[in-house]
């Protein structure tokens, strides 16, 4: 009887133990082994798998462990719950974190464990590619990367070590800026671009009644020599007779305006005459330079509402009259220009007198020396913020 009781006791203990291992397992249900992030395992009924996984258990052992890497190349596997502690001890979560790419000055690269990097750096290796290469620049805009050891040889061949050494920033009278390669800068300066962001005072020299076969060319020679521009208000009749200086002025970037075809007093002319004078000049100029005059200066400065309505372009008068047609004296004309030179002025001259061409030759170098920039009327307007409108009259553009 005592022995039976003892057997019964073991039996009950065994059943209890099984019940504790497999809690609340319904009869006939299959079992699944699940894994905790700290290494524990549990056998649960299939119906409970979802509950356990939602509580942070994993379906495979591999999900509960992670491989960590040491700076010297060692590896270990730890349970997920232990990862933060190992990272705090200096282990790395990814192999790539344990190696450094190092660079030699001759272009070689190697990967070393982080623990070895200081030794390699001491041996002359570099930790970044930028430490071993230089970007060099050619005057014509080419760039290339060379190893630092090669840099002196390339510099000796005419390459530059900074971009700023090969480009110039240039400025237009109307506020535009461009960067050009140094070797192209002279061509841009000749087109009227400037090295200075502040163009200084601006002046519009204007010449009426030409073009003249020799004096217009003489004036253009002076303008060209000093990187200056002017505006020519040409007569259609003169343009037809002397197309070459007109073409040269346009090619130099000078502005071509109309001064009518035969110089009538438009205020005293019939509408049909006004229309014909303007239209014929436009056509003649267009035939020679490929574009119509952009401005109109009525002869004697006389205009009325009819002239305004037929003009089609802005009317440009003047606020400085050199009286060159009257004095025919180069010294007097040059002195008048210089004593009336101020920012935004429009100066009236005539390119049909030897004395005027000589006055320009005397005055332009001095104007440039004083910091004046000699621009076309439209450039002056743009620089001063004017939008010139057809039929409106302008005397200066300050
Ligand atoms: Ni005139």
SS (H, E, C) the chain: CHHHHHHHHHHHHHHHHHHHHCCCCCCCCCEEEEECCCCCEEEEEHHHHHHHHHCCCECCHHHHEEEEECCCCCEEEEEHHHHHHHHHCCCECCHHHHEEEEECCCCCEEEEEHHHHHHHHHCCCECCHHHCEEEEECCCCCEEEEEHHHHHHHHHCCCECCHHHCEEEEECCCCCEEEEEHHHHHHHHHCCCECCCCCCCEEEEEEECCCCCCHHHHHHHHHHHCCCCCEEEECHHHHHHCHHHHHHHHHCCCEEEECCCCCCCHHHCCHHHHHHHHHHHHHHHHHHHCCCCCCECCHHHCCCHHHHHHHCCCEECCCEECCHHHHCCHHHHHHHHHHCCCCCEEEEEECCCHHHHHHHHHHHHHHHHCCCEECCHHHHHHHCCCCCCCCCEECCCC
Q: How many CA atoms lie within 13 A of 208 on its CB side?
A: 24
Cα(364) to ligand 1 centroid in Å equals 22
Q: What is the pTM of this model?
A: 0.57
Cα(275) to ligand 1 centroid in Å equals 18
Cα(165) to ligand 1 centroid in Å equals 49
Q: Pick the closest to residue 79 from 33, 38, 35, 36 (CA basis).
A: 38
Active-site entry in 100, 208, 209, 351: 208
Cα(186) to ligand 1 centroid in Å equals 36
Cα(105) to ligand 1 centroid in Å equals 73
- Please say if 350 is a catalytic residue: yes
Cα(361) to ligand 1 centroid in Å equals 21
Cα(263) to ligand 1 centroid in Å equals 6
* Predicted pLDDT of residue 199: 66
Active-site entry in 209, 336, 350, 351: 350
- The rounded distance, in Å, linking the Cα atoms of 377 and 365 is 20
Question: 211: cis peptide before it, omega within 30°?
Answer: yes
316 contacts 296 by C-beta, under 8 angstroms? yes
- The rounded distance, in Å, linking the Cα atoms of 145 and 136 is 6
Q: Digits of tens for pLDDT over the chain (398 positions)?
A: 444 444 444 444 444 444 444 545 444 567 899 999 888 999 999 989 999 999 999 999 989 999 999 988 899 999 999 999 999 999 999 998 999 999 998 888 999 999 899 999 999 999 998 889 999 999 888 999 999 889 999 999 999 999 888 899 998 877 789 999 988 888 888 777 888 777 689 999 999 999 999 999 999 999 999 989 999 999 999 999 999 999 999 999 999 999 999 999 999 999 999 999 999 999 999 999 999 999 999 999 999 999 999 999 999 999 999 999 999 999 999 999 999 999 999 999 999 999 999 999 999 999 998 989 999 999 999 988 899 999 999 999 99
């Amino acid at each position: 009887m005592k022995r039976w009781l003892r057997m019964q006791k073991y039996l009950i203990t065994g059943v209890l133990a099984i019940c504790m291992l497999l809690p609340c397992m319904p009869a006939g249900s299959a079992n699944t082994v699940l894994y905790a992030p700290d290494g524990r395992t549990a056998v649960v009924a299939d119906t409970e798998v979802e509950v356990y996984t939602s509580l942070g258990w994993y379906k495979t052992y591999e999900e509960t462990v992670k491989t960590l890497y040491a700076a010297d190349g060692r590896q270990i596997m730890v349970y997920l719950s232990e990862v933060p502690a190992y990272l705090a001890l200096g282990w790395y979560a990814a192999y790539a974190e344990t190696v450094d790419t190092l660079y030699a000055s001759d272009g070689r690269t190697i990967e070393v464990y982080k623990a070895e990097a200081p030794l390699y750096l001491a041996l002359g290796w570099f930790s970044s590619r930028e430490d071993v290469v230089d970007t060099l620049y050619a005057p014509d805009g080419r760039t290339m990367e060379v190893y630092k050891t090669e840099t002196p040889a390339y510099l000796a061949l005419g390459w530059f070590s900074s971009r700023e050494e090969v480009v110039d920033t240039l400025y237009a009278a109307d506020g535009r800026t461009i960067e050009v390669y140094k070797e192209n800068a002279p061509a841009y300066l000749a087109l009227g671009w400037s090295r200075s962001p502040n163009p200084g005072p601006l002046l519009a020299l204007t010449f009426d009644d030409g073009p003249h076969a020799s004096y217009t060319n003489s004036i253009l020679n002076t303008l060209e020599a000093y990187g200056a521009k002017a505006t020519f208000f040409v007569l259609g009749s003169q343009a037809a007779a002397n197309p070459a200086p007109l073409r040269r002025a346009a090619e130099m970037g000078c502005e071509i305006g109309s001064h009518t075809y035969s110089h009538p007093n438009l205020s005293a002319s019939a509408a049909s005459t006004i229309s014909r004078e303007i239209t014929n000049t436009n056509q003649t100029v267009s035939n020679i330079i490929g574009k119509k005059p952009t401005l109109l200066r009525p002869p004697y400065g006389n205009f009325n509402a009819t002239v305004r309505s037929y003009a089609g372009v802005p009317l440009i008068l003047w606020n400085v009259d050199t009286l060159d047609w009257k004095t025919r004296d180069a010294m007097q004309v040059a002195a008048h220009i210089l004593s009336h030179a101020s920012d935004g002025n429009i100066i009236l001259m005539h390119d049909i007198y030897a004395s005027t061409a000589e006055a320009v030759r005397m005055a332009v170098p001095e104007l440039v020396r004083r910091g004046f920039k000699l621009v076309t009327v439209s450039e002056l307007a743009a620089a001063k913020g004017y939008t010139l409108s057809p039929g409106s009259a302008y005397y200066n553009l300050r």
